[in-house]
Each structure stands twice: as structure tokens, then as C-alpha cells.
Amino acid sequence: MSSLELFELPNFKGDYVSIDHETKDLTSVGFLQRARSLKVHGDPWIVFSGINYTGQFKCYSEGSYPSIPALEKKISSVRVVRDGLYNPTITLFEHIYYGGKTVTLEKAANSLKPYGFDNMASSQNNVSGAWILYSEEYYKGEQKVTVAGDDIPDYHKFGWGDKVSSLKPLEPHEASEALE
């Protein structure tokens, strides 16, 4: 079983909380924007500076991190990547509820134009790994992180319908400027 331990002070000192499931608002466990070090047990975890998996993010694989300078006292939500980051696969669908044309990717695509799929995705089936979706080509624009098990039947409900222009698998320790 995977878990994430967040500590209030560097070097695993002070108050701490152990989390074994994704949490969209760390207020629910009394640890909103308090963490200054962390430990990951099992599968990788993605930590976000905003609630609901928004804002800056960073992915941590199994291990101990005595300091987390980029996100010190900023972590507001967390997600686990079940079964790790290996062999990433995602299927995008042209229409909501997994209809129409499809494209399945196992590696980064700096543009979906060669696939005939630029700004066309309306739903997804994320089979494995974690992916960063971008609203513009070459990994620019708005971003959304999606993880294994995220079957999203309608991107429009999240403001992402017909918006994805590039995407790439998430790597451990990969950070982003901001997610909206």
C-alpha cells in the first residue's frame, strides 16, 4: 500500500500526517500548506500547491526528502500514481463518453496535429502512468495533470473540451510553473 508522510519541519521533524489516498484539500487532514519535508512509500505521489490538484506541482518517487524547497509550506493537495510512472499510456477520444475518433499515446507528443487530433479531445481513458495535458503545442499554455485510473467521460465539465494540443508523461521530480 502506498502512503505519503508530510512533516511540518525539515528533516522529518515536527507534526506530521500520513496519507494513503488522494486528497484534494489538505485542510481535511489539518495539514494545508504546512509541509517542509516528506517521505513516499510505494507508488509515486504528486503534490500540488493549490487545492483540487491545481497550481505548481512536483512528482516524488519512493524515498525520503528532508527538504522540499520548491513547495515548502505550499502543498495543498496530493495524488497517488497507482502502479507507478512506467509504461505510460493514454487514450484520447474525439467525443464525450469515449466516442468518435481515438488516439492512443505511449510517449510525449509536442503537437497533436500529426495525429489529426489538435484541439479535438473531449474525453480520455488514462490506462497507466501520469500525464500533463497542455492547451498549446510544445508543452505551453494551460496544464492539467491526469493519473492512472482517470477515466474522464467529458472534458467540457472541466473546461478542457477540444483544448488539448500537446501532452507528455510525467517524470519523477518534474515540476511545473502553474496549473489552472
Are residues 167 and 94 both part of a single domain?
Answer: yes
Are residues 36 and 109 both part of a single domain?
Answer: no
Tally of domains in the chain: 2
Are residues 76 and 93 both part of a single domain?
Answer: no
- With a pLDDT cut of 90, the percent of the chain lying above it is 91
Q: Compute the distance between CA of residue 47 and CA of residue 95 in angstroms, rounded to an integer.
A: 30
Q: Compute the distance between CA of residue 114 and CA of residue 23 in angstroms, rounded to an integer.
A: 36
Domain end, chosen from 54, 80, 106, is at 80
Residue 93, classed as helix, strand or coil, is strand
Q: In this predicted model, what pLDDT tens digit does every residue of 106-162 receive, in sequence order?
A: 999 999 999 999 999 999 998 899 999 999 999 999 999 999 999 999 999 989 999
Task: Please report whether residue 177 resides in a domain.
Answer: no
Are residues 100 and 74 both part of a single domain?
Answer: no
Are residues 41 and 76 both part of a single domain?
Answer: yes
pLDDT at 177 over 50: no
Domain end, chosen from 80, 110, 138, is at 80
Q: In this predicted model, what pLDDT tens digit does every residue of 37-46 receive, in sequence order?
A: 999 999 999 9
Task: Please report whether residue 179 resides in a domain.
Answer: no
Domain range for residue 100?
A: 89-171
How far is the first Cα of the chain from the last one, in angstroms, to the nearest whole number?
Answer: 30
Are residues 139 and 97 both part of a single domain?
Answer: yes
Task: Please report whether residue 20 resides in a domain.
Answer: yes
Task: Please report whether residue 119 resides in a domain.
Answer: yes
Sheet strands (E) in 44-165: 45-50, 54-60, 63-65, 77-80, 89-95, 99-105, 123-128, 130-136, 140-147, 151-152
Are residues 16 and 68 both part of a single domain?
Answer: yes
Q: What are phi and psi of 40, to 5 degrees?
A: -115, 130
- In contact, 149 and 82? CB cutoff 8 Å: yes
Are residues 162 and 95 both part of a single domain?
Answer: yes
CATH number at residue 68: 2.60.20.10
Domain end, chosen from 44, 60, 80, is at 80
Mean pLDDT for 54-72 is 93
Task: Please report whether residue 161 resides in a domain.
Answer: yes
Q: Compute the distance between CA of residue 133 and CA of residue 71 in angstroms, rounded to an integer.
A: 21
The letter for the amino acid at 37 is S
Identify the pLDDT of residue 171: 80
- Confidence category of residue 180, pLDDT binned at 50, 70, 90: very low
Q: What is the pTM of this model?
A: 0.91
Task: Please report whether residue 9 resides in a domain.
Answer: yes
- Retrieve residue 35's grid coordinates: 509541509
